[in-house]
Amino acid sequence: MFWSPADTIGFRSSYSTSFRAPNPNELISDLTARNLYVENDYPLPNDSSASEIFYANHILGPESSRNLTAGVDFSPTELPGTRLSLNYYRISYSNRIIDAPGSADVFTNSSVYGPLVKQFASDAAVDAFVAGIEPPQTLVDYTSGGTGLAGARFGFPYGYINAAKEATEGFDFGVHSPWSFADNNKLIFDLNTTYIKDLTTTFCSVCTSTDLANTTGEPLKFRARGAVGWSNGIFSSNAAVNFANAYHDTGIGSTGRISSFTTTDINLRWRIPRRRLRWGLASSTPSTSIPHTPLLP
């Protein structure tokens, strides 16, 4: 739906539903996973000294969603060509296809991860579970004593899984403003920002939801890019500054914090008239972050 009460302003909204089957990459990734990892260096309930297994998930179903968007565009008459846009979105998924969460507390936070965590009463129960995994998996032993499956009492999947529910909502804001001057000189200003209010994921129907935004492998809550470009038909240049907020590295517990970072992009271009030749120079500052160790192998 679109409504424009005046030439300078317009309101937009839409509602839709969608259905998505697992794509080939997701299916192949899960079906080709053949390793069964055994480890004993993750926090376990009651400070248990047992080990845990990470097994490939080979059951992946389709996801569906309900989507709502709304926005407003404003083009002031005093600034021809300038447009300001503000958008709101909310997406609610069922059986959302996601990577299995890589968090150090997967075995100790039962209210969040619920039935994703399997518990085994004995070595025989572990052996029976592993024997039933299709296709068979190769044991990769990361335990400090090389104990293999003996003593494993917890299990967790890796690869793609279906979460029971996931909902995300946020805002996008953008400004585009062109300016023209004498001698064919042009300036263009652009600003684009996005803010994710939350990304709540519920792994089972009775699990407590958790906000995965600002964690390893998930979207950041806030990103911004401001850019300015100049050209006169022969020479042109563009410069942009990118900002990404700090986030939490869930793979190394509560102390894992990656600082925010800012990068810049600069490029220059020279067009030789009637020669159909263009020369360019580009530069981009590399992003820096603190190295981290993922939870899953």
Per-residue pLDDT at 34: 87
Examine residue 294 and state whether it is found in any structural domain, yes or no: no
Examine residue 92 and state whether it is found in any structural domain, yes or no: yes
Per-residue pLDDT at 286: 61
Examine residue 295 and state whether it is found in any structural domain, yes or no: no
Supply the range of the domain harboring residue 255. Answer: 2-284
Per-residue pLDDT at 288: 45
Dump pLDDT digits (tens) for 5-18. Answer: 999 999 999 999 99
d(CA 185, CA 228): 13
Examine residue 292 and state whether it is found in any structural domain, yes or no: no
Structure tokens given for 235: 């020479």
Per-residue pLDDT at 276: 63
Examine residue 289 and state whether it is found in any structural domain, yes or no: no
Examine residue 248 and state whether it is found in any structural domain, yes or no: yes
Ranges of residues in the chain whose predicted pLDDT is under 50? 288-297
Any residues with CB less than 8 A from the CB of 81 and at least 6 apart, and which?
75, 176, 177, 178
Per-residue pLDDT at 168: 95
Give the count of domains, the chain. Answer: 1
CA proximity to 149, closest of 70, 265, 264, 40: 40
> Residues for the chain: how many in total?
297
Dump pLDDT digits (tens) for 269-291. Answer: 888 776 666 666 677 776 544 33
Per-residue pLDDT at 23: 93
Examine residue 30 and state whether it is found in any structural domain, yes or no: yes
Per-residue pLDDT at 255: 60
Examine residue 96 and state whether it is found in any structural domain, yes or no: yes
Per-residue pLDDT at 29: 85
